[in-house]
Structure 1
Amino acid sequence: MDSAHDVLVIGGGNAALCAAISARRAGASVKVLEAAPRFYRGGNTRHTRNMRCAHDTATDTLTGPYTEDEFWDDLKRVTQGHTDEELARFMIAKSKDMLPWISAQGVRFQPSLGGTLSLGRTNSFFLGGGRAMLNALYQTAEGLGVEVEYDAEVVALEIEDGMFLSATVKRQSGLETVRAGALVAAAGGFEANIAWLKEYWGPPAENFLIRGTPYNRGTMLRMLLDKGVQEIGDPTQCHAVAIDARAPKFDGGIITRLDCVVFGIVVNRDAERFYDEGEDFWPKRYAIWGRLVAHQPDQIAYIVFDAKSLTSFMPSLYPPISASTLEELAGKLELDRAKFCATVAGFNAAIVPGGSFDHTVLDDCRTQGLTPPKTHWARPVDTPPFYAYPVRPGITFTYLGVRVNQEARMIMTDGRPAANMFAAGEIMAGNVLGRGYAAGIGMTIGSVFGKTAGEGASRRARN
């Protein structure tokens, strides 16, 4: 079989749909190929809740302004400068237009959230979460005439001298060649490909849990790199958070994540603390804990807290492990009891009396003379019952990807922009995220570069 379209979009999440909608609104005929079944469509977008966009004033769903300069400062801090500043500033500037544009595609937002998230001013939350957002975008795309196909895995690409010619699609009925005037690759990273992760992480990757879709195996990324597209990003860098160790291997999503690090201490298998639990606010620092745990023995750690904090954060899907004494808790965690109790006692003794504990500000509740320190939100773990969550690295998406320019056009290994190939979303996130993560920025990358890619692909296909 053989079919032809102006623009072919490979992928089915936020980035892919923003590309498909913008290309269709620009007059192109568009086909979307989603490798997953319809129920699991949307990649990691299914598990998201919000996006981070610059804005000059408070809105109905945001409590105050979030300027381009502040966004840039936050991004620079979490990436430690490992970002393409030109592309990053381009994305931030374009993000100011994304909230009204996304709303115009049928997506609805809910009132701002407070609490431990600290995102009410910076991030807009989707009413109904990522699944509702996807449903709205699919409804809009299909209403505009975008052709969507599920269970459609691309197994080969025909590319000559930086120009996309066709894709070979595998389905139950056989193989089909799909031709198009332009390609938008928005098929995610390779986080669900454990064998590929092990190439860089070694045996520890076997203990990683994959928070999102099992369909992001990096097939499209590998084909593009093999066809001469320039790669970008450190293959060991990724968006990784500490999630409940009892979560499923794939697709655990948001309900297995834990936001309680700041309320206690984190110890490894040897009952030792290994990092400052109070370094910064949750949105800027929660995504460091996956990598931290990945470097611990057996890739396991335990968040330990007491009765004072039990109702202060969103719990995991699974209940915490509880005990009436620290000794009993150590036994349930299979940790050395004497060492565990000594670690907790040492932490408690190092706390400097400060003002009142307040997780919404960088308070002065800290430790002194302790390595590693806890620089904020330190209070004794001394009120029974005692609790712990076991955590493992939860990989959201990988940062190794394809290099793009401000048109979202792929760059070939010889430095030339591809003739008609564009990329958006996780498959090119490494251009902006060299390391680290700030809450909601994955959706920003997907929507900004998705819309940009769709518009560019439409112009290229119709020219």
Structure 2
Amino acid sequence: MNTLDSHYDILVAGGGQAGLIAAIVAAEKGARVCLLEGAPKSHRGGNTRHTRNLRPLHNGPLSVLSGTYDEAEYWDDLMRVTKGKTNEHLARLTLRQSSGAVEWLEARGVQFQPPLGGTLHLGRTNAFFMGGGKQLLNALYRHAAKLDIDIHYDAMVSAVDMENGRFKSLQVGERRFYAKAFVAAAGGFEANIEWLKEGWGDIAENFLIRGTPYNRGDLLRILLDQGAQQIGEANQCHAVAIDGRAPKFDGGICTRVDCVSLGIVVNENAQRFYDEGEDFWPKRYAIWGRLVADQPNQVAHVIIDQKAKGGFMPPVFPATTANTIAELAGKIGLDAETLQKTVSDFNEAVKPGNFDHTSLDGLHTDGLDVNKTNWARPIDQPPYSAYSLRPGITFTYLGVEVTDKAAMKMADGSTSPNIFAAGEIMAGNVLGQGYLAGIGMTIGNVFGRIAGNEAADYALNH
């Protein structure tokens, strides 16, 4: 036998939440498992490193969550953001099985904390990780070590050997790994600008990638080239508006700008272009990356006044501030006269009402080409502040189609007997477009558990 060959019951590619959970579930069922993480140990965990919470269904108080968030409300929220572009069977499966996500994680060392406030509005719906995604990862990696799961870092899959949809082995560098079953959980292709350009065109060159730089879609491309059935489109993704000063890659959640609903957003021509108060921020923040991408040079600016301070989670970069709108315009490179008119027109259009950012308060403007439907207050209390905005891509939705057993479907209509998928690489089955805060982690948790269970059952019985 070649000393570079390795044999396991199950191979898992991808060391984020979905892959870790699949590996843990399989190992707990008695399978010999190997986890291949493409990143170095210092950057392990994919986009899970940058997360803060997941969104679980609960029909009563759950851990740090109070109240109820039942299937009907959850489904309605999902329909509002995806506009029905989802596989209903898989989506409802995800919502129902999410009810066990928090308990499963807590039993393996993950800790949760009371929810954050401000514009997030997630106190009843989302469970926040104590210490964020890195704490979750560290807890799960500790648990994986107790289960003797073999973990390899800097282990990017370079080739997969399949026959009639059946996994046989894969290549990492000069080493060949064999297994009875394979779980693909290596994320999307958001860090691959050339691939993004296939869906977006040349404007993708101006995108910032708030997710991990290691998600280049290598495994996804290999599987599609080997006959996996594609789900989703190349220009559908989780794209939010982030601070324009963020790094090109790996900026993470701290670069997100969460005060859009408390102010106005203008493009580089100092013109508003969309309703900032359309809905609660967690149901709309993920449309703003796409909106900014459609503006000249893919740049925008959010303008707030002193009244908005303290009402949102501040990003890592400080705002640009000034005592007048004209001065602010000069500092952010906008035409002062135009921005003054935009703000003045907005202020004059605000109708009387009671501001309440915890509800859809109906405080709106009237008579503008683009009206604001909630939380509209005059921007008239200095100092004024601005954050520059650029499209920030978190993860992509184009992936592989799966069954409700997480088995990968093939383009010829068959289903792979021993290849399973979990996490971002299959999230497009549930997310055809749009995004709901925390649901990416929910999909990874649910399908990680399903994939690990099904892979173990196959490997231990064949």
| Structure 1 CA distance for aligned equivalents of residues 22 and 217 of structure 2 | 20
CA shift in 2, pair 1:197/1:280, >3 Å:
same
Aligned to 1:461: 459
| Structure 1 CA distance for aligned equivalents of residues 285 and 230 of structure 2 | 27
Alpha-carbon offset, residue 310 of structure 1: 2.2
Aligned to 1:424: 422
Amino acid across the alignment from 1:319: P
Of residues 131, 142, 148, the one that matches 1:128 is: 131
Aligned to 2:380: 382
| Structure 1 CA distance for aligned equivalents of residues 313 and 116 of structure 2 | 12
Amino acid across the alignment from 2:454: G
| Structure 1 CA distance for aligned equivalents of residues 130 and 333 of structure 2 | 41
Aligned to 2:413: 415
Aligned to 1:18: 21
Aligned to 1:148: 151
Of residues 99, 102, 111, the one that matches 2:102 is: 99
Alpha-carbon offset, residue 113 of structure 1: 2.8
| Structure 2 CA distance for aligned equivalents of residues 32 and 406 of structure 1 | 23
Aligned to 2:164: 161
Aligned to 2:183: 184
What is the TM-score of this pair, normalised by structure 1?
0.98
Aligned to 2:291: 292
Correspondences of 1:8-157 after superposition (within 5 Å): 8-157=11-160
Amino acid across the alignment from 2:76: D
1:6 to 2:6 alignment: no
1:60–1:111: 8 Å Cα contact kept in structure 2? Answer: no
Alpha-carbon offset, residue 311 of structure 1: 2.3
Aligned to 1:202: 201
Aligned to 2:368: 370
The DSSP-based 3-state class of the residue aligned with 1:348 is helix
1:322 to 2:325 alignment: no
What is the TM-score of this pair, normalised by structure 2?
0.98
The DSSP-based 3-state class of the residue aligned with 1:154 is coil
Alpha-carbon offset, residue 323 of structure 1: 1.0
| Structure 2 CA distance for aligned equivalents of residues 94 and 4 of structure 1 | 32
Decide which moves more: 301-310 or 13-22. Answer: 301-310
Identity %, equivalent residues: 61
Runs of 4+ in 1 over 3 A off after TM superposition: none
2:118–2:313: 8 Å Cα contact kept in structure 1? Answer: no
The DSSP-based 3-state class of the residue aligned with 1:77 is helix
Amino acid across the alignment from 1:303: V
Aligned to 1:257: 256
The DSSP-based 3-state class of the residue aligned with 1:64 is coil
| Structure 2 CA distance for aligned equivalents of residues 181 and 59 of structure 1 | 37
Of residues 430, 434, 440, the one that matches 1:436 is: 434
| CA RMSD across the alignment | 0.8
Amino acid across the alignment from 1:425: G
Alpha-carbon offset, residue 341 of structure 1: 0.9
The DSSP-based 3-state class of the residue aligned with 1:358 is coil
Decide which moves more: 433-442 or 100-109. Answer: 100-109
1:201–1:236: 8 Å Cα contact kept in structure 2? Answer: yes
Describe the superposition over 1:169-193 as per-residue Cα deviations: whole angstroms up to 9, x where unpaired.
02xxxx0000000000000000000
Alpha-carbon offset, residue 235 of structure 1: 1.0
| Structure 2 CA distance for aligned equivalents of residues 401 and 115 of structure 1 | 34
The DSSP-based 3-state class of the residue aligned with 2:327 is helix
Describe the superposition over 1:127-157 as per-residue Cα deviations: whole angstroms up to 9, x where unpaired.
1110000000011011011110101111000
| Structure 2 CA distance for aligned equivalents of residues 429 and 452 of structure 1 | 14
Amino acid across the alignment from 1:223: I
Structure 2: which 5+ runs fail to align? none
2:67–2:124: 8 Å Cα contact kept in structure 1? Answer: yes
The DSSP-based 3-state class of the residue aligned with 2:34 is strand
Alpha-carbon offset, residue 3 of structure 1: 0.7
Aligned to 2:272: 273
Amino acid across the alignment from 1:362: L
Decide which moves more: 54-63 or 376-385. Answer: 54-63
